[in-house]
Chain A
């Protein structure tokens, strides 16, 4: 489903001395089936923006359109909307509450009033997508490790089978293995099911690895928008917005300045590895200086 915003603005506590403009006239279009990264400095309005996509926050002015329809129409559509647009909050493990992991993941589907069999099917499908061991289903969520808890919480949203999946920093505070697992699982899910995914992240590496396009927010406005390549090419502009390009890109740019013949559009370590190999093969006499 396409997501579109028209002149979307949001003001917190309007009319009080502490009112704060969180979103200022946002016009965006996110195409069906795309994998979008949403980046921005803390307080740039990312979290406020994504909460408009499933109707948790209402615009102060402007519209949010999902598949061409304004989402703030009636109460009934709002509940249906939450199942269509799955939102995984930051540190989602803090919302686990039920006696067993299985019951917790089933909470969403139960609210959808599905049959027992259907709920069970969805729970199993969801844990498969986050690679959570089936044996953990009967355990209490509070017995799990941090990484497992995070997966269980994400599975709770996946069990809704959302058409749009929004993740707010799903890898924050996880170890490198945990973050790689979660990212590749989401990537697989997006490819297999063709759903739209919006990934909010502070990690440029994560965004470069899995996203197709990037939206950069700054002070409640959209500062940049485009493909991963187009956005990360503007390293100077990103730095002005207190952001950066992936570390590997910083390294490649430095090497380029030193005179090494490398392309300027390397954003992942895999791609960099490939290019380094090519460079070493091409000029064997330079090998010593590379090492």
Chain B
């Protein structure tokens, strides 16, 4: 039913991308986002597209899953593209009625759409290849220096770990309650907005109650095992940068530089 939600889903594997240190992956993902925003022309985007395709190929994640992660933004992409297509001024190529399409409009629409797709596909690659626990470990390590200015890095990471950890549990639970209520004739799919909203009550109330119960039990279990926050807490698995991470940084920097160079400076005058 709803088990095909991809948010925060991790697909186990043993590719180069899976083996990289989470800090490397997080930093490079941010770098990737920056490159996508700096790039301005279509050739640059073609290059980024190639880079992304290469990364997906290396990760061993089926292309189908990448498409699935794009599902929630399809509407947004089309909307943005259409808006840019019709609202951009310049030399009109095609005109019908009040609608005008300019050369600049086409290029802007394409770059905006690609920009959105690349952003989501690139970041979803991070969550697909990094388990939630490792990911938050990486975030905590990166935020550690901020603890000097009283930033609660450990608490933030713990909250994220717990939230991510319970996404599958809550999805599973939602699925179970949905099925149980369907067995009593509940209909979640048909009817108008109000009818649909009303149909959610038998789902949301049990879900709320069990979430509170679970939070209570978890807090108790953590206290029983002597949890008292981040101070003096050691890790079972220490994060270590390896040679692979250095290689990844170097290769990525070169490729990013190429993308920016081509993407920023209009070499071919288009």
- A interface, CB within 8 angstroms of B: 13, 15-18, 51, 54, 56, 79, 82-83, 86-89, 92, 94-98, 107-108, 111-112, 142, 156-157, 160
Contact = CB atoms under 8 A, between A and B. Distances in A.
Contacts of B180: 89, 92, 95
Contacts of B205: 97
Contacts of A88: 183
Contacts of A83: 185
Nearest to B185: A111
Contact of B11 (A18, A98, A156): A18
Contacts of B62: 15-17
A79 B65 contact: no
Contact of A112 (B65, B179, B185): B185
Q: Is the interface of B mostly helix, strand, loop or mixed?
A: helix
Nearest to B62: A16
Contact of B183 (A16, A87, A98): A87
A160 B185 contact: yes
B90 interface: no
Nearest to A162: B183
A97 B206 contact: yes
Interface in B6-57: 11-13
B1 to A, nearest CB: 8
A160 to B, nearest CB: 7
A15 B210 CA distance: 32
A157 B181 CA distance: 10
Given A89-B176, A97-B202, A56 B183 contact: yes
A142 to B, nearest CB: 8
Contacts of B64: 15
Q: Which 3 A-B pairs have the closest CB atoms?
A: A111-B185, A108-B184, A97-B205
Contacts of A51: 179
Contacts of A54: 183
Contacts of B194: none
Contacts of A112: 185
Nearest to B204: A97
Nearest to A88: B183
A142 B176 CA distance: 19
B201 interface: yes
A94 B177 contact: yes
Given A94-B210, A97-B205, A111-B187, A56 B13 contact: no
Contacts of B201: 97
A112 B177 CA distance: 19
A17 B12 contact: yes
Interface string B133-176: 00000000000000000000000000000000000000000001
